[in-house]
């Protein structure tokens, strides 16, 4: 039998990157398969004992002189450290500390010093052996002389693509990294009580930043340095996610990134959106996804923004809404594929209008709110009737979120919904996700009769995926 070319095997195994079980089985086929699959498996550290066994004699001597004795073992078959592409400083520290708790290694010093000593030697190994690190995560609050000062670090880190870190990492780390890494594509910043001075240097040294995630957990009187540094990088950003919670964060700098494809803003405070008046007129010609997780700008600001940028939107999420906004979505966002909006139970006319007019919708997530004027005769079955009657033909996913309401499914009405959905043309299997504030299963109104209806249409292939939870 002819063998597949190595390049072909490699491409096949790459498709199995997230299937550890399959990759482990490939290790046992023959030496060639083993050599290819082990490189993919070990992009993330798989076994810390194996990794420690890879330490050179120089490192073992340093550890021994500091009271740490590593048991003798066979030399590893592969240079596993060289395969690692994704490193988490915090996880490595945690795993090494756990090894000491299990008394895997003999030592006369405390756990903190032991962990520190071994992690230093491991990072020396990584910097020396990894030809090109892809992803680095560092959230440790204390200073460690890692990475940058070790032989090989410049070569190892120069093509770093992903960085996850706190903003209070010691300043020299950011400065040194800015001298080495200028091609980071994804940067995740978790803002702490302090912001290291040289973080701005790292940001403005980037030439190809595509994904920026900012998580703000504290109020800052002055974010000017960070904002200014962001305005100095090239217009390469395609995804921006800002989680501000209850805190203020400037938004005007977003106008610099007109190539954005995805914008996610998560704030509990409406005051932060005063900056949005500077964004409403900016044209983001490539914007496809717009998400407001909690609060959102005033109607007039958001509607003007949609007028300028809604045509290319494919996904729009707004946690709260009103008829004026829903009608603006119909007018300015004709090409939406996914919509998440809020509708009150006593007035679903705008939902009907949306379903009738957004012909390309494929996924609908509805936050269904009980009105204080709610009609007692109105229930979930009325909503199902609207969805099956008015949903565009391409819809395959319904996500229904019920707020402060016990669900009351009627078997006859639910059966009717699935029969009508089955008769839609073209017929598409349905992903149905139902979320309720109700906590107990019984309060969902899911009787055995209702469960049997769900099971029936799962078996018939009408329901592709069903999830009911809170």
For the chain, 470 residues long, the average pLDDT of each consecutive 10-residue run is 74 79 82 85 90 90 84 83 94 86 60 81 94 92 65 92 92 90 96 88 96 85 83 96 84 95 93 88 96 93 96 93 88 96 76 92 85 54 86 93 70 90 89 74 65 93 88
How many domains does the chain fold into? 3
Q: What's the full length of the chain, in residues? A: 470
Q: Tell me, what's the pLDDT at 466?
A: 92
DSSP 16: T
Q: Of 133, 150, 168, which marks where a domain is finished? A: 133
Same domain for 70 and 4: no
Phi, psi (rounded to 5 degrees) for 344 = -85, 150
Q: Tell me, what's the pLDDT at 315?
A: 98
Q: Of 114, 133, 152, which marks where a domain is finished? A: 133
Q: Tell me, what's the pLDDT at 356?
A: 92
* Residue-number span of the structural domain to which 463 is assigned: 134-469
Q: Tell me, what's the pLDDT at 441?
A: 45
At how many degrees (to 10) do helices 380-390 and 349-357 cross? Answer: 20
Q: Tell me, what's the pLDDT at 300?
A: 94
Q: What is the CATH number of the domain that holds 154?
A: 3.80.10.10
Q: How far apart are the first and last CA of the chain?
A: 54
Same domain for 252 and 171: yes
Same domain for 370 and 399: yes
DSSP 141: S
DSSP 103: T
Give the C-alpha separation, 168 to 439, whole Å. Answer: 39
Same domain for 128 and 107: yes
Give the C-alpha separation, 446 to 380, whole Å. Answer: 13
Give the C-alpha separation, 63 to 332, whole Å. Answer: 65
Same domain for 385 and 279: yes
The two beta strands, 162-166 and 430-436, are: unpaired
Same domain for 420 and 282: yes
Give the closest residue to 311 by CA, choosing from 292, 336, 274. Answer: 336
Residue where the block lists tokens 């803002």: 191
H-helix or E-strand containing 290?
A: strand 289-292
Phi, psi (rounded to 5 degrees) for 425 = -125, 125
Strands (E), 95-161: 106-107, 135-138
- CA 304 to chain centroid, in Å, comes to 29
Same domain for 237 and 98: no
Same domain for 194 and 160: yes
Same domain for 3 and 87: no
Q: Which two tokens stand for residue 44?
A: 């993330």
Same domain for 221 and 196: yes
Q: Tell me, what's the pLDDT at 373?
A: 47
Q: Tell me, what's the pLDDT at 204?
A: 95
Q: Of 104, 133, 162, which marks where a domain is finished? A: 133
* Total-model pTM: 0.89
Same domain for 59 and 140: no
Same domain for 457 and 408: yes
Q: Which two tokens stand for residue 174?
A: 């950011």
């Amino acid at each position: 039998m002819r063998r597949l070319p190595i390049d072909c095997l490699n491409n096949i195994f790459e498709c199995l990157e997230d299937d550890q079980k399959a990759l482990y089985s490939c290790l046992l086929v023959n030496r060639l398969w083993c050599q290819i699959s082990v490189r993919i498996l070990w992009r993330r550290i798989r076994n810390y004992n194996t990794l420690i066994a890879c330490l050179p004699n120089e490192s073992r001597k340093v550890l021994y002189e500091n009271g740490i004795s590593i048991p003798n073992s066979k030399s590893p078959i592969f240079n596993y450290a060289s395969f690692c592409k994704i490193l988490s400083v915090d996880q490595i520290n945690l795993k090494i500390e756990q090894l000491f708790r299990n008394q895997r290694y003999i030592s006369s010093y405390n756990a903190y010093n032991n962990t520190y000593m071994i992690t230093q030697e491991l990072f020396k190994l990584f910097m020396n052996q990894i030809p090109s690190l892809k992803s680095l995560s560092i959230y440790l609050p204390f200073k460690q002389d890692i990475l940058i000062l070790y032989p090989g670090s410049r070569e190892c880190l120069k093509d770093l693509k992903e960085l996850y870190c706190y903003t209070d990492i010691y300043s020299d780390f950011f400065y040194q990294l800015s001298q080495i890494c200028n091609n980071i594509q994804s940067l995740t910043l978790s803002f702490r009580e302090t912001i290291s001075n040289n973080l701005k240097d790292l940001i403005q040294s980037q030439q190809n930043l595509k994904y920026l995630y900012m998580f703000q957990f504290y109020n800052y009187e002055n974010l000017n340095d960070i904002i200014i540094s962001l305005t100095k990088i090239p217009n390469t950003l395609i995804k921006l996610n800002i989680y501000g919670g209850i805190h203020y964060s400037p938004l005007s700098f977003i106008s610099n990134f007109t190539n954005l494809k995805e914008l996610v803003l998560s704030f509990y405070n409406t005051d932060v959106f005063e900056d949005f008046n500077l964004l409403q007129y900016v044209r983001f010609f490539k914007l496809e996804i717009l998400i407001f997780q909690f609060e959102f700008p005033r109607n007039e600001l958001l509607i003007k923004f949609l007028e300028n940028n809604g045509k290319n939107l494919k996904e729009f999420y707004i946690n709260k809404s009103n008829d004026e906004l829903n009608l603006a979505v119909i007018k300015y966002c004709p090409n939406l594929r996914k919509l998440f909006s809020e509708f009150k139970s006593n007035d679903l006319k705008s939902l009907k209008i949306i379903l009738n007019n957004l012909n390309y919708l494929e996924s609908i997530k509805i936050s269904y709110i009980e009105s204080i004027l709610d009609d007692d005769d109105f229930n979930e079955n009325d909503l199902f009737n609207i969805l099956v009657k008015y949903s565009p033909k391409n819809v395959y996913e319904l996500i229904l979120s019920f707020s402060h309401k016990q669900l009351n499914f009627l078997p006859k009405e639910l059966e009717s919904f699935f029969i009508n959905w089955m008769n839609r043309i073209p017929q598409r299997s349905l992903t149905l996700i139902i979320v309720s504030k109700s906590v107990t299963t019984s309060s969902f109104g899911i009787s055995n009769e209702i469960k049997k209806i769900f099971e029936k249409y799962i078996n018939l292939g009408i329901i592709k995926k069903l999830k009911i939870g809170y």
